[in-house]
Amino acid sequence: MARVIPIWRKIGLSLAVTVGFFVLLEAVLALIGVRPVLYAEDPYVGFSGTSPLFVERPGSDGAEMVTAGNKRTLFNEQSFPVDKGDAVRVFCVGGSTTYGRPYDDTTSFCGWLRELLPVADPGHRWEVVNAGGVSYASYRVAVLMEELANYEPDLFVVYSGHNEFLERRTYPQIIAMPPALRGFGSLAARTRTWAALASVLRPKTENSGVGGARPSVLDAEVKTMLDGAVGPSAYTRDDSLKEKILQHFRFNLARMVDIGASAGATTVLVTPASNLRDSRPFKSEHREGLDPAELARFQALVEEGAEAHREGRLADSLTAVESAAAIDPRHAQVAFLEGSLLGEAGRWGEARVAFERARDEDVCPLRALGPMAGIVRDVAAERDVPLVDFAALADQWSDHGIPGDDLFLDHVHPTIATNRKLAVAIIGELARRGLVHLDSAWREDRIAEVGRRVESGLDSHAHAIALMNLSKVLGWAGKMGESYRLAQQAVELDPNDSMIQYNAGLTAHLIGRKDEAVPHYRRAVELQPDADEPHGNLGVLLEESGHLDEAIFHFRQAIKFARTPETTRRNSLNLAKALLRQGYVAYSQGRLDEALEHLTEANGITPSDPEILSRLGIAQLAAGRAGQAADSFETALKARPDSAALTNRLALALALDGQVDASAKAYARALALDPGVADLPDNLFRVLGNMGKNELAAQVRQRLER
């Protein structure tokens, strides 16, 4: 009878054979030179060069690493000792949100972590370094983490996703990372077997390319598609590229986790959140296949909706806009408008769907797209790393469950308070994972105490300047409502800065709030009397409202203190226009000498302007300077040779100057240009008759009849 082998022995034998096989395989791979791959390289983009973020220098307590001088335009100035001792070293990485824009590290979530962690867990010595780079996308963050992995990190906090579309690049094919690579984990990555398997599972590469094609080679530092004057117009819809970028983002997140693991560090992933309710799309495009009739109907419905809203007919406005959105559901701006109207109607669930569509159909996607939060969640689950779901938290913290200006300063950058709440949420997740041991004193009142201490030390002027600069960026992008709101916040923080007052005036001016703009401009020139642009813009608004003396004064000041030739040219033209109006007013009120003075100066500024010359000629006639008037009319006619009215006035000036033959010829030309000249109030013969110069009129008629 055959001996029956117990099942446990079979399992044990199988395991032993399997382990033995892999041990032998590891040995063979070692002999042939295969080395463990601790994390994947990025085969999809390359860089023309790299330089370290941190450089070593001597410090008072030993060598320290400091932010390199050539990196300080994109990164906060940070430092940490080479020897970390018993500290828990935390690196925060990502883009401008991690950096702390529009401010700096102090009020970033990373800065809050630095202040809050010692209170939450005083049993450890915490060392928090902000390595967030302005405009850094995930592929640049991953490269940076390769450097940071050399500095004994214990923890990485990754907030990435808003910058994935900033730089122009191409992909040879859709990036598809096999699940085996995506979730196998860092332990396997430390083996030679993994290295060999990875080389088989990954797409074949040549010169670090994919599918035999070379990868995009990017500049050593960020050069965005928004750089220069073109702005959002550089973007156009490309659904295929969008899909590739999303998959590259997934690849980079997994790579970051593995880079952290290669250094023995834990990586915390944070889902990106953004302003849905109060941030308009940067650029819209119509869907493909929209025919002319549909486009005309779409535009008519949008105009109909706008008019109904102006008249207070919300239901009619919403009906029209929803109909337009049905014609073209891919038009981001109309989707945003639909969301705003739905919110106004209290239909917040539907509003959220429309706002999300507006974000995801934005042709210039400067906010993380909807799928990106899901990608972060997937990678965190696959790699079993801590996740802070900021996107979900932002919904919970927001009015009506839709993030807006209550949480964000602009389209993506959180308020100071929101950054603090995010830091608290990160600490909570670290505690849940056992990476932070919360002190019994960790309560809301202690968090508030830290908040008061940090905020009391803030530089209000620096923060006001930061908001002003952000306002300028949004204005440049055409988002004037958001630009105006930030400019007003900046004034509240620091009302005694001329530039801040000027920017507040400019944004109010551009959105049509001219009555608000004037006091801002006035305050700007009070604070800085040689500020050219505020003088010029104030002059424009004063001239429009009929305050001509003041307007002329400010135009003169703008010219006097002009910092560019363009400022001089623009304000000179404005001055001439104001002098023309002032001259006309003085003439109509019988102040002839004053009128001549203003009009002569205006003519000196723009000597070929036919309107100024015509007004000047009329004033010269009234002052008995017929010869000068004739010269003025003749010069004006060089610009407007077909003007019958000007030619008639020239005929009158010539007659009064005694040039009867020339007057008759000019009047004949005026009649030829337009017989209606005979009916003008200032017709040659009517004026001569009113002046009692009937004999002179007869002489001109004689010449005409020859």
**pLDDT over 90 at 589, yes or no:** yes
- pLDDT band per the 50, 70, 90 thresholds, residue 229: low
Question: What per-residue confidence (pLDDT) applies to 7?
Answer: 66
Nearest to 33 by CA among 199, 184, 181, 149: 199
Angle formed by the axes of helices 660-673 and 644-656, nearest 10°: 170
Query: Which range among 11-20, 256-265, 453-462 shows the weakest confidence by mean pLDDT?
Result: 11-20
pLDDT over 70 at 526, yes or no: yes
pLDDT digits (tens, 9 = 90+) for 573-587: 999 999 999 999 999
pLDDT at 690 over 60: yes
Q: What is the CB-side half-sphere exposure of residue 525 using CA atoms within 13 A?
A: 21
User: What tokens does 555 get?
Assistant: 């135009």
pLDDT at residue 172 greater than cutoff 70 = no
Q: Percent of the chain, pLDDT > 90?
A: 77
Q: How many CB atoms are located within 10 Å of the residue 242 CB?
A: 16
Residue extents of the structural domains in the chain: 292-360, 460-576, 608-705
9-18, 90-99, 525-534, 600-609: the lowest-pLDDT one: 9-18
Averaged pLDDT score across all residues of the chain? 89
pLDDT band for position 512 (50/70/90)?
A: very high
Hey, what are 166's tokens?
A: 């900033």
Residue 16 makes CB contacts below 8 A (sequence gap 6+) with none
Q: Are 640 and 632 in contact (CB under 8 A)?
A: no
* H-type alpha helices, 328-415: 332-344, 348-360, 370-383, 390-397
pLDDT of residue 171: 75
- Binned at pLDDT 50, 70 and 90, residue 705 comes out as confident
Q: What is the torsional sign of CA 271, 277, 283, 289?
A: positive
Contact in structure between 338 and 314 (CB atoms under 8 Å): no
Architecture of the structural domain at 608-705: Alpha Horseshoe (1.25)
Q: In whole angstroms, what is the distance from residue 333 CA to residue 315 CA?
A: 19
Q: What is the pLDDT of residue 195?
A: 62
More confident residue, 553 or 677: 553
**What digits encode the pLDDT tens for the residues 554-576?**
999 999 999 999 999 999 999 99
Name the band, by pLDDT with cuts 50, 70 and 90, for residue 211: very low
Is the pLDDT at 70 greater than 50? The verdict is yes
Measured distance CA(422)–CA(107) in Å, rounded = 11
Exposure letters 362-371 (e unless 16+ CB within 10 A, then b): bbbbbbbbee
For residues 158-181, average pLDDT: 75
CA dist 425 and 439 (Å) reads 16
Weakest-pLDDT range from 19-23, 402-406, 525-529, 699-703: 19-23
Residue type for position 645: A
209, pLDDT greater than 50 = no
Rounded to whole angstroms, the Cα distance separating 388 from 514 reads: 45
In this predicted structure, what is the pLDDT of residue 204? 46
Look at residue 200 and tell me whether its pLDDT is greater than 80. Answer: no
50 pLDDT band, cuts 50/70/90, is confident
The pLDDT assigned to 210 comes to 46
Compute φ and ψ for 159, nearest 5 degrees.
-120, 105
Which pLDDT score, from 0 to 100, does residue 545 have? Answer: 94
Name the band, by pLDDT with cuts 50, 70 and 90, for residue 197.
low
**Which backbone phi and psi does 640 adopt, to 5 degrees?**
-130, 70
Residue 180 has pLDDT above 50, yes or no: no
Checking if the pLDDT of 198 tops 80, the result is: no
3-state secondary structure of 296: helix
Q: What is the pLDDT of residue 41?
A: 74
**What local confidence, expressed as pLDDT, does residue 217 receive?**
76
Helical packing angle, 592-605 and 565-588, nearest 10°: 160
182 or 332, which is more confident: 332
DSSP of 499-533: HHHHHHHHHHHHTT-HHHHHHHHHHHHHH-TT-HH
191-200, 311-320, 445-454, 617-626: which has the highest mean pLDDT? 311-320
pLDDT attached to residue 15? 63
pLDDT value of residue 202: 52
Give residue 184's pLDDT band: very low, low, confident or very high (50, 70, 90): very low
Pick from 265, 264, 273, 269: which is nearest to 385 by CA? 269
On the question of a common fold for 292-360 and 460-576, the answer reads yes
Q: For position 16, what pLDDT does the model report?
A: 60
Mean pLDDT of 463-482: 91
Checking if the pLDDT of 390 tops 90, the result is yes
- Is the domain 292-360 a CATH 3.40.50.12780 member? no
Q: Where are the alpha helices (DSSP H) in 184-272?
A: 186-189, 192-201, 239-262
CATH topology of domain 460-576: 1.25.40
Q: Does the pLDDT at position 1 exceed 50?
A: no
Determine the residue type at 163: N
Average pLDDT over residues 342-352: 97
Q: Which residue has the higher pLDDT, 127 or 191?
A: 127
Give the HSE-up count for residue 305: Cα atoms under 13 Å, Cβ half-sphere: 22
Beta bridge partners of 88: 126
